[in-house]
Amino acid sequence: MHKALKMATKSCVPHKFRTENSDEEVNQEVPSNASNYLGATSIQKQPTFRNSRQAPDPTWKSPRNSAVLSTPLPTLDASKEYNWQAGMTNIREKNAVMLQNPLMADVHFTVGCGKNKQHIPAHRYVLATGSSVFYAMFYGGLADQNDEVCLPDVEPIAFHNLLKYLYCDEIQLSADNVIPTLYVAKKYIVPHLARACVQFLETSLSARNACMLLCQGRLFEEQELMQQCWEVIDAQAEESLASDGFVDIDFSTMESVLLRETLNAKEVSVFNAVCKWAEAECRRRDMEPSMENKRSVLGEAFYLIRIPSMSLDDFANGPAQSGMLTAQETTNIFLYFTANNKPELPFKRKGRSGLMPFKCHRFQSSAYRSNQWRYRGRCDSIQFAVDRRVFIAGFGFYGSSNGAMQYQVKVELKKEGTLLGQAITSFFSDGSSNTFPVLFDNPIQIEPDVFYTASAVLDGPELSYFGQEGMSEMQCGKVTFQFQCSSDSTNGTGVQGGQIPEIIFYC
């Protein structure tokens, strides 16, 4: 594949490649350093949900045939072994012997370019039965009988993966090869392999790589992958915009992020991310990252930043001193914040709406009694699992049953003992049986079918409301929650009653 497709490159940039047996140049925006952002998937013990869709098993074997070759079949010189077929029990084993074997090969591919170039033998019949593109190439009305095909735009590892699937019905993906494999699966219209690549990317999705995968989803026109990327970017906008992946996206994807109404981020964070992107884009174009050049690469997209929606402090300590604004722009924005007669500004003024959180309330009633609920530094804890990816914003708590009071609280979210998020803060209780939110600094992504532990240590008036008639499973919007008792709970909270009545989340 073109050198820009190699995983070591740092940006998504357009390039040109030549099609098979043709001098026609085709513009193609190619993937970037995906392996820097994709994490390994793991198999977790899954809770059982009633009436809910189970998440796909992320083992990345071929869903069409769960049995894969556990060890590679031995190579052989079939030209000297006239009865090599006798020891094979099925067609898949026989095809595996022919994989990249010159015996009976009637087409040869030169894949990649430069030092990465490889020569690979193949068999027209096998390729044509697995791909309509290969069928048209070899047996269609305009079929070319040339047995040499040059593919400079395809990574050798991706072509190996394609052949392994076509010959052996086997799919082996990793962070290093999934995007070039998706490219070649799309190029030769092998939808099942393409779908497996997309599923791999979806299970690897996080705030760290969501912007980069959005870029690839747009490139390959994968609507479902794009939707899941937007869910992560919206809910974890602060982290997504601050990630290394954001600076590597193309201009069109960056502009689509700026147009997004539902980003859960401060506008000053959007401004800072765009400045970093502009600096990186200047370097990609071999330009000095001056203010003029950064404004030049951003063009009119710069005005999509909603600077007038910032607080005065955020503007004064950020954009006003960044060097990205002209002196006149800075003056006009200060006047917009402070003057009665406000100047016209080219920036969008209305703040982003963000996402509305959901609240899963796990108790059917609440109560208080003279001898409950006491804290004294003890831990209230509950375990929960969901049937789809969500983002935990925080938890709701009951407050004092003896009038308005202030509570100090430390909340934690853990997965199998590993701390994912923590907040140490306070909340004010007005003496009612309402719940009071305590939020993390940034929402925390949790995966389906895995139990997580929510814990809290409260310090304040000992007597408070507490939940009763708790439910072990409940539906909240499109999400099914399942609850179970936690061994970390030392203050009496469990499934049936206690504290932590609400899970606050985005989805």
Q: What is the pLDDT of residues 421-451, one digit of tens each?
A: 999 999 999 989 999 999 999 999 999 999 9
Euclidean distance between the first and the last CA atom of the chain, given in angstroms as a whole number = 37
How confident is the model at residue 84, as a pLDDT?
A: 76
User: Phi then psi for 358, rounded to 5 degrees?
Assistant: -100, 155
- Interval 180-236: pLDDT, tens: 999 999 999 999 999 999 999 999 999 999 999 999 999 999 999 999 999 999 999
Instruction: Indicate whether 122 pLDDT > 90.
Output: yes
Between 96-100, 317-321, 372-376, 462-466, the lowest mean confidence (pLDDT) is in 372-376
CATH 1.10.10 holds for 227-338: no
Between 88-97, 286-295, 302-311, 335-344, the lowest mean confidence (pLDDT) is in 88-97
Amino acid at 371: N
Provide the 3-class DSSP secondary structure of residue 413: strand
Provide the 3-class DSSP secondary structure of residue 59: coil
Q: Which two tokens stand for residue 245?
A: 């992946």
Q: Which two tokens stand for residue 33?
A: 């350093």
What is the C-alpha separation between 232 and 210, in angstroms, rounded? 7
The conformation of residue 99, written as its DSSP 8-state character, comes to T
What is the C-alpha separation between 49 and 481, in angstroms, rounded? 8
Between 45-49, 138-142, 387-391, the lowest mean confidence (pLDDT) is in 45-49
How confident is the model at residue 226, as a pLDDT?
A: 96
Instruction: Indicate whether 35 pLDDT > 60.
Output: no
Position 153 confidence tier, pLDDT thresholds 50, 70, 90: very high
Q: Which two tokens stand for residue 226?
A: 């794009």
How confident is the model at residue 76, as a pLDDT?
A: 55
What is the C-alpha separation between 250 and 241, in angstroms, rounded? 14
* CATH class of the domain comprising 3-203: alpha beta
What is the C-alpha separation between 389 and 446, in angstroms, rounded? 6
Sign of the Cα pseudo-torsion (28, 29, 31, 32, in order): positive
User: Phi then psi for 125, rounded to 5 degrees?
Assistant: -60, -45
How confident is the model at residue 49, as a pLDDT?
A: 58
- The CATH code belonging to domain 358-506 is 2.60.120.820
What is the C-alpha separation between 345 and 336, in angstroms, rounded? 8
Residue ranges of the chain assigned to CATH 2.60.120.820? 358-506
What is the C-alpha separation between 305 and 310, in angstroms, rounded? 10
Residue ranges of the chain assigned to CATH 3.30.710.10? 3-203
Q: Are 177 and 189 in contact (CB under 8 A)?
A: no
How confident is the model at residue 354, as a pLDDT?
A: 92
Residues whose CB falls within 8 Å of the CB of residue 71, separated by 6 or more in sequence, listed in order? none
Q: Among candidates 67, 111, 74, 129, which has minimal Cα distance to 92?
A: 67
Residue ranges of the chain assigned to CATH 1.25.40? 227-338
Position 46 confidence tier, pLDDT thresholds 50, 70, 90: low
Q: Among candidates 67, 387, 41, which has minimal Cα distance to 199?
A: 41
